Structure 1
Amino acid sequence: MKYKMKQKQNQRITRINGATLVVGADIAKKIHVARAVDYRGIELGRDCVFHNDAQGLTKLSSWMKEVGQAHGKTEIVFGIEPTGHYWFPLAAFLQEQGITVVVVNPHHVSKTKELEDNSPTKSDYKDAKVIADLIRSGKYSEPKLPTKAYADLRILMNLREKVSASLTQVKGRIGNWFDRFFPEYAGVFKDWDGKASLMTMRAFPLPADIAAKEARHVLAHWKTEVQRGVGIKRAETLVAAAAASIGLTEGTTAARIELSTLLGQYDLFSEQLTGIMEQVLTILTDIPGAARMLAVPGVGLVTLAGFLAEVGDLSGYDHGQQIIRLAGLNLKENSSGKRKGKTGITKRGRSRLRALLFRAVMPLVAKNEAFKALHRYYTTRSQNPLKKKQSLIALCGKLIRVLHTLGTKEREYNALEMLGPVRLTQIGQVSA
């Protein structure tokens, strides 16, 4: 499908013809409703109410084929609004049956539901018809459900995000514990998650435990596992801080249990995070072009894995502009008559992908000479200079096109080729 919006919209409309059975379905957790129309919007057959199980999905498939045969339809286009995660098994089942699955924007369904009966009434039965009408008008898109390695990658990166959030939460709780029971600890160990610090927290959790020891005893405990980075001065500082601590002295029995529990959670989440990233690295080694994309200075494992988890197989995109639209980074403009409004990004795509790209492009501007030169050119050019944030958004699009080219054509990264139409004399020579 063409990546330009006008051509793509025309293709979507012409795809729905007299031989097409358009089915719209409202998806819930347990019971779904489907209705079928032709390309003019005339409803065909009765509605189909089916459950979210094997028997229900088989019923849906049989119903669509029966309606299609009864009205001479040779192709079925099945559409839903992708709210929640309940539609994933249904979409996978229908695709295995050779039925085309498309999605419509839930915002469009909400805005157009009054066109059906001039009423703001909402029901599963009504929404199914609204979805079918949107599809026959070409207001749909085809979801790219991940398969094979990309399916594993998406699950792992989603899991990584959840585990990372849990780990961050645990770190905050440990910081809260120190604020209550040992506020002076941060003056001894700048980072409490260092090896010597963790040993101290497990062996001497409270200031009273440390103050009861001599500095040489604390140092001897450290030296059983840590040979460098800590010495007698650090041990003496720790003992002195513990002796003068203003931390709470009541509830110490529960405080020991709390810290031990938090440290156990910290170890668990840290271990899980390491295991997840090891598996992600294994998967990336089997994805074509991954090594070349990782060769881009500033693009790391997490960035590339997150990008491919959201986008899927890059060979399914004809041009990087399709991914730009998927991320919601394509431009919008509000103009009327002589008035020309400000230009911004639509934000109509995947917010997680958009956020990942923005976070990735900031270190690129600092570490990648080509991106640094482009950023300098965009913000200082004589005509239409961009603000810094605008430049970063433009560079997000450039990063998408670079990764798409490297991933699909499997070419080696070359900074000079990456600059594209911008003249090197304008931005300065950049090393490859």
Structure 2
Amino acid sequence: MKNSTARKLRPIPTGYLMVGIDPHQKKHAAAAMTQDAVVCTKFKFANSRQGYEVALERVRAEMIKASCRGVIFAIETGGHYWRNLAYFLEDRGIPFRLISQFTLRRRRDGKDINRRKNDFRDAEMAAELLRTSDFTETRLPQGVYAELRSAHSAYFRLGKERTRITNLLRGLLDSLFLEFTQIFKDPCGQTARTVLSICPTPGVIAHMREDEFVNTIRREHQGRLMRKKLRALHRLAQGSIG
């Protein structure tokens, strides 16, 4: 454990200003801290190239003011908003370390009895974790590997989001139209979505003749129409408990 801590601290020279970052969609929060745990300044900057440039100017000014020899960033890795800033810093040759959101949360909850949570508090805690060497060794993927990893992460997130939406829709249908999923196993399918957008309740379907219902869906639907399922759904709607 001591060897691991010493190995992590070695790349951080003495006299460096440590800047903790709490990333967000529109604005990142930053807190600059010296190696003797004195917080020099706190500020926010836009999540854009111009915002990053403004932040660097602010940090350089604070570095000179605090008589520091250099600067190193500590970026919390919650969500995905940290990536653009990390690649920006890497392109500029500015050192940074990644701080696990779980490590930060445990440290924050352990030290803050009031359980207060704000952006600057997390940014300050990120700098503190860098100071105590509780960070992740930084190695950003590059080239084709970076693109592949990004695409896989996006695919995984979209899959989780689709599952969440499907489960939410199933829950709503259980109270509004219980028999719907007996016919359409996937309520997010093309025909199913067309039906729900036009006839969201069994009462609407039941007040229509079978052919009228099928023709109504056909006019609004694009692609292959599952007529047998539509007719079966119409029959179930007549005696639905929804």
Partner of 1:24: 20
Q: How does 1:352-371 map to 2 (within 5 A)?
A: none
Partner of 2:115: 120
* Distance apart, 1:27 and its partner CA: 1.7
2:28–2:47 Cα contact (<8 Å) kept:
yes
* Distance in 1 separating the partners of 2:99 and 2:33: 16
**In 2 relative to 1, CA 166–177 (structure 1 residues): closer, same or farther, beyond 3 Å?**
farther
Q: Does 1:34 align with 2:41?
A: no
Q: Please, which of 91, 100, 103 is the counterpart of residue 98 of structure 2?
A: 103
Q: Calculate percent identity across the aligned residue pairs.
A: 26
2:104–2:125 Cα contact (<8 Å) kept:
yes
**In 2 relative to 1, CA 120–11 (structure 1 residues): closer, same or farther, beyond 3 Å?**
same
* Distance apart, 1:79 and its partner CA: 0.9
* Distance apart, 1:78 and its partner CA: 0.4
Amino acid at match of 2:223: T
Deviations 1:335-372 (A, max 9, x none): xxxxxxxxxxxxxxxxxxxxxxxxxxxxxxxxxxxxxx
Deviations 1:285-344 (A, max 9, x none): xxxxxxxxxxxxxxxxxxxxxxxxxxxxxxxxxxxxxxxxxxxxxxxxxxxxxxxxxxxx
Q: How does 1:390-401 map to 2 (within 5 A)?
A: none
* Distance apart, 1:115 and its partner CA: 6.0
1:113 alignment partner, SS class: helix
* Distance in 2 separating the partners of 1:46 and 1:166: 38
Q: Does 1:8 align with 2:4?
A: yes
Q: How does 1:372-391 map to 2 (within 5 A)?
A: none
Amino acid at match of 1:12: K
Q: Does 1:133 align with 2:95?
A: no
Partner of 1:59: 54
Q: Please, which of 63, 66, 69 is the counterpart of residue 71 of structure 1?
A: 66
* Distance apart, 1:137 and its partner CA: 0.4
* Higher RCO (CA < 8 A, seq sep 6+): 2
**In 2 relative to 1, CA 115–42 (structure 1 residues): closer, same or farther, beyond 3 Å?**
farther
* Distance in 2 separating the partners of 1:10 and 1:99: 21
**In 2 relative to 1, CA 161–16 (structure 1 residues): closer, same or farther, beyond 3 Å?**
closer
2:78–2:100 Cα contact (<8 Å) kept:
no
Partner of 1:142: 137
Partner of 1:84: 79
* Distance in 1 separating the partners of 2:49 and 2:77: 20
Amino acid at match of 2:27: I
Considering only aligned residues, what root-mean-square deviation do their CA atoms show, in Å? 3.7
* Distance in 1 separating the partners of 2:12 and 2:59: 16
Amino acid at match of 1:112: R
1:23 alignment partner, SS class: strand
Q: Does 1:156 align with 2:156?
A: no
1:57–1:90 Cα contact (<8 Å) kept:
yes
* Distance apart, 1:253 and its partner CA: 2.4
Name stretches of at least 5 consecutive residues in structure 2 with no aligned partner.
Answer: 167-178, 185-208, 226-242
Deviations 1:140-164 (A, max 9, x none): 0134322111122123334555777
Amino acid at match of 2:20: G
Normalised by the length of structure 1, the TM-score is 0.37
Normalised by the length of structure 2, the TM-score is 0.62
Partner of 1:218: none
Q: How does 1:171-320 map to 2 (within 5 A)?
A: 180=183, 251-254=213-216, 256=218, 261=223
**In 2 relative to 1, CA 119–157 (structure 1 residues): closer, same or farther, beyond 3 Å?**
closer
* Distance in 2 separating the partners of 1:159 and 1:46: 35
Amino acid at match of 2:148: L
* Distance in 2 separating the partners of 1:59 and 1:67: 12
